[in-house]
Every structure is written in C-alpha cells, then in structure tokens.
Amino acid sequence: MTVSRPPASAPLILLVDDDAELTHILEEFLSQQGFRTLSAHTIKAALAVLRHETPTLLIADMRLPDGSGNDLIAYLRQQPEGEAVPVIVVSALADASSVQTARRFGADEYLIKPFHPDELLAVVQNSLHRRRAVEQLVTREAHLQTVTILAKTIEARDAYTGGHVERVSTYARKLAEALGWSAEDLMLLEFGALLHDIGKITIPENILNKPGPLTPEERAIMREHPQRGAEILRHVSHLRPTIPYILYHHERWDGKGYPEGLRGEAIPPEGRLLAIVDAYDAMTTRRPYRTHPLGKAEAAAEILRQSGTIFDPQMAKTFVHLVQEGKI
C-alpha cells in the first residue's frame, strides 16, 4: 500500500485495483489535481484501510484477487460514516448485468476500462460536487429544524401570533422569488423570516400579551426587540448573516421607523422586504389592537397606500401584484 500526502485538508481518495501500474499512474495524476490518495491491491488491504479511515471517495475495480469489488462496496455502505461516500467502479466488464449489480451494491458511477485519466477526473469532481451538495442540504435541514423549533418556542409566548412566523416566511420567500433573489439569499431569508421576532423572547409576557394599548414605557420596551434579537444572533456564527432581517424589519421608507431611523435604500433590502410581509400578516390576522382582521384585498390596498411612506415602493408594488394574482 502506498500513500501520497498533499494538504491534509484535501479530499482523500482510496484506490483499490490489482493493477499496480494503473494504480500508480492514477495516484500520481490525482495527487497533481490536489487530492490525497491511498491505494490497495486486494480487498483485505482495502478493508484494513477502511477500518481506520473513511475516504472522501472510493475508486474500486470490480475484479480483485481475493473477491469482488462489490463486497468492498457492501462493507463500506454498512458503516454509518460510509453511507454518503461516493463510489466509482472501474472495470473491463462492460455488460449491463455487471453495471446493474455494482449499482445495486451501492456504486454511484461505473467507468469501463480503458479510460483516460481526464475522464476519471470529471467523474470524481462531479461525484464530490454532489456529495458537497448533499452535505449542505443535510446541514441546512438540521439548522432549519433547530431554527423552526426556536421560532415556535418564541411564538408560543405570544397569545396572538400563532402561525405568524410560518406565514411570514412563506410570504417573504414568494416576494423574494418574484424580485429575483439568488438561491443563497433565499436560504438566508428562510432563517431570517423565521427568527425575525427572536428578540421578543426577552420581552415580559405582560407587555407581549397586553390586551389593551401599551403605555409609552411599555412601547419603548417592545421596540427594543429588534436590537435584542440581533444581539442574540451575533453569538451564533451560522445565523449571523440573518441579522438584517431581525434588526431592520421595523424601519420605514420615510425614516420614521426604528431602531435606527434609516430612510429609503439606506435600509437593507432584507428589512424592507420583511417589513411588507410582516405588516401584511399583522393586518390579516387578529391582534390585541385589531379584533377584526382585514381581508386580503383590503390589506394589499393598505400596503399600496403606504408605499413610499412606510414601504419600499417597488417591493410593495410587486407584493400587491402577487396578492392580486392569488399567489399570496
């Protein structure tokens, strides 16, 4: 078994093939492309590697001196840490049955020998790209579940806002999509919309659920929730980019909002967008200050009327069109 060592952070590829010359050529080639490599010429040697280290990707021949490459794939797939490892089978067996069997055991790709190293490289890069995409999705879903639980915990303290964060998140995404926001921006928006009222977790319940008008002192405390929420998220690195949603969703286009009194396009777009959908949901649901909610058409008309005063004119116009088209 041979080892080559580019940077320790580089993806690790395990090559398993009884052709020592081919293995050496592929090791040299993949090392030049920035990959770390391990090689083994038998299943026994490969299993010895897998018992101590999980590769980023496995490349295995179908026929080996002490068994089938499918047995190696089966072992890898049985390990919890091996379930997501991309597997590329390389073989001179070109019949459909061999390909189907390899895939049934868990192979992701099947390359027929002989092949050009560049062809292998393309398959390796595509496989690793898919793995990264899956890992990002899993991480995102885990974060989203945590954020959703947190948002629901916060919302449970407020007797008047059941379902508010989910509705705001839905409206916000539809408006952002209509405005052409990127996929990355949409992902951050989902977290930001769910957490926009996180600062309310610090507001006393007697103020949060007061059925009548707030006193000036109580209103001042309530208006602190954007800053308090932003301060909470400053300590959570992967949620820090969502702070503009939390901090600026009560700013107004005319500069009369809070907490910073920003005006027009000086307000980050995250805050401008969320201000519209947050207000729309407040208008169309029962609140302490509104026992009779507005209908969709009435609320949309109010958004349009306050366009250029409270709300970003272009965003407001786009949002109202979505309501009129029945998309919200």
- Tell me the H-state helices in 183-268: 183-195, 205-208, 216-222, 225-233, 243-248
256 is catalytic: no
Which residues have a Cβ under 8 Å from the Cβ of 69 and sit 6 or more positions away? Answer: 16, 43, 60, 61, 62, 63, 89, 91, 102
Q: Exactly one of 44, 152, 200, 256 is catalytic; name it.
A: 200
C-alpha distances (whole Å) from 163 to each of 153, 158, 160, 194, 255 are 12, 11, 9, 10, 29
Contact 282/158 with Cβ under 8 angstroms?
A: no
Question: Token pair of 104, please?
Answer: 């049934």
d(CA 111, CA 114): 9
Token reading at 233: 């998220």
CB 274 within 8 A of CB 249: yes
Residue with tokens 């907490």: 259
Both tokens assigned to 195 = 């957490």
Number of residues written out for the chain: 328
Secondary structure E strands in 11-65? 12-16, 36-40, 57-61, 63-64
Rounded to an integer, what distance in angstroms lies between the CA atom of residue 92 and that of residue 128? Answer: 24
- What number of other Cβ atoms are within 10 A of residue 191's Cβ? 23
Among 185, 311, 176, 204, residue whose Cα is nearest residue 250: 311
Active-site residues, by number, are 200
